[in-house]
Structure 1
Amino acid sequence: MDQPASAQSALRLASITDLSGIAGCWYDGFFDDEVIGEIMHPNRKEHPKDVYWFLLRGIRERFWDWRHQFVVVTVYEGGKERIVGAADWRRLGDAGQQRELAWGDPRNLIAPTLSLYHSLSLLIFPNRAADPSRSSFLSAAVDDSKKYWTGEHAECWDLHVCGVHPDYQGKGIGKMLVMWGIERADEEGVSASVLCGEKNRGFYAKGGLTEEVGKPGSGEGGGIVLFRNPMGSKTA
């Protein structure tokens, strides 16, 4: 994959205090991305901060979805910790369901409360950077790909989002984030997967994600779903 990361970089699980840092890292990394930038936010140059708030809303809601696990890579600059890469892995299947809290746990109210708050705030402060007809492009692609996580791939660690700050790309940060989920998948004897664009196929192939099972959506921005079988198993 990319070059080995600096010894000063460290990977850890994300905490609630990291959410704005993750959003800032992804803002820089995805601002001119084909999907989040060009397709979903064509007016981003005029309203750049609206892209940041879009990313932060999604991060907040998924952080309180117990199937999701955020991991970050940090460095120290000027004596302060800085997030330079982050990934959102989600556990699909029965084991993912087991990560959820008991029905009566009050923490289950956090995600829907945040979703309602975000919906109301968007009525007052709409996402001016977005094309309304394409604002749900990414979530629609994810929903369209659900049919691929069945059978031998029903139990899976899926790389939902992975982004590295442009200043730190090519330094092994992406590899650290990808390998975190692959190692969890191998430990549990399940698949790993990613929905990505064609241009990132080579990067993920270096991490063993080579089995193409489908192309959700079509036309502009269409992606591919790649899988990696657990270590020691045979590829279908």
Structure 2
Amino acid sequence: MTPPLTLHRVTTLQDLEPLYHIGADAFRNDPGLNWFYPGGRDHPEDFVVAWKYLLLQEFFDKGKFILAASIPDPDQDDNTSICVERRPGKVVGFAVWERRGDSEAAKSWQGGGVLKGLKRFLLNLQIIHTFCFDTPRRSLSWSRLRHFGHELEAAKASQPSESWYLSNLAVSSTAQGKGVGKRLLQWGIDRSEEEGIPATLVSTDAGLALYTSRGFRNSGWLFFDDGRQKQTVMRRNVKYVRLD
């Protein structure tokens, strides 16, 4: 029997911490990450650091929504659980959805603010220091990262400007095949249907079956490794278009 699954939005840095290890676990064999972060396999602790800063960037970006998926934790004493509504059970997966666009509807989702922008700026300085001068520099190829980032931005730009974009989706290896990824994906699909705008993403080979089953179709390619490898740019068009 599949345990009940709860989705909750990550709103604190404390809630973000468990996701670092889930991302590193779920993407440990991902060709794209291993291409621009080639030392991650030899130094797994560096891979966790990479996911820490990746998710911190997402956390401080406007328009980004980090959702965590949790199941009941068999090792947790119900009599001593705290903040069950906000941090229920054991976190087994997450998704990062972004509301893209310049419309009033998009701005209503995006939020932001001067303080958040300052924190993002300071984070960028910390990232530069970590990957230029600290131990994780041994694992990262800056030139490959810049290339991959450029291709990723080009893939996003090729999609409709008003859209819900799936930036990341990761499920712990111990919870895969239990519908966790489908639930996290459906959250963004529901938002796109409500607004009458497409949902878009860039898929690894591992995610193609899930995304195709939920109505996403190939709309382009993201090439890396001198064109020897690629990821699939995908779009799910809405069933109707709102006129208001």
Cα distance between partner residues in 1 of 2:27 and 2:220 = 24
**In the alignment, residue 97 of structure 2 is paired with which amino acid?**
W
C-alpha contact (below 8 Å) 2:130/2:137 kept by paired residues: no
Cα distance between partner residues in 2 of 1:195 and 1:42 = 21
Cα distance between partner residues in 1 of 2:182 and 2:156 = 25
1:93 Cα deviation from its structure 2 partner = 0.9
**In the alignment, residue 24 of structure 2 is paired with which amino acid?**
Y
1:195 Cα deviation from its structure 2 partner = 0.6
Matched, 1:51 2:47: yes
Identical-pair percentage: 24
Unmatched 5+ residue regions in structure 2? Answer: 82-88
- Residues 132, 102 of structure 1: alpha-carbon distance in 2 compared, 3 angstrom cutoff: closer
C-alpha contact (below 8 Å) 2:3/2:71 kept by paired residues: no
Q: What does 1:144-183 correspond to in 2, within 5 Å?
A: 144-149=154-159, 153-183=160-190
Match of 1:215 among 210, 221, 236: 221
CA offsets per residue over residues 57-112 of structure 1, 9 Å max, x none? 01111111121111110123211732111011111112434444476x32321111
Unmatched 5+ residue regions in structure 1? Answer: none
Cα distance between partner residues in 2 of 1:199 and 1:117 = 32
Aligned length: 223
The 4+ residue runs of structure 1 with deviation greater than 6 A are none
1:146 Cα deviation from its structure 2 partner = 3.1
Q: What does 1:84-163 correspond to in 2, within 5 Å?
A: 84-94=92-102, 95-101=105-111, 105-125=114-134, 126-149=136-159, 153-163=160-170
C-alpha contact (below 8 Å) 2:62/2:112 kept by paired residues: no
C-alpha contact (below 8 Å) 1:91/1:156 kept by paired residues: yes
Q: Which has the higher contact order (CA 8 A, sep 6+)?
A: 1
C-alpha contact (below 8 Å) 2:165/2:200 kept by paired residues: yes
Q: What does 1:62-77 correspond to in 2, within 5 Å?
A: 62-77=58-73
1:56 Cα deviation from its structure 2 partner = 0.7
C-alpha contact (below 8 Å) 1:25/1:84 kept by paired residues: yes
Matched, 1:82 2:90: yes
**In the alignment, residue 229 of structure 1 is paired with which amino acid?**
N
1:40 Cα deviation from its structure 2 partner = 2.4
1:132 Cα deviation from its structure 2 partner = 4.0
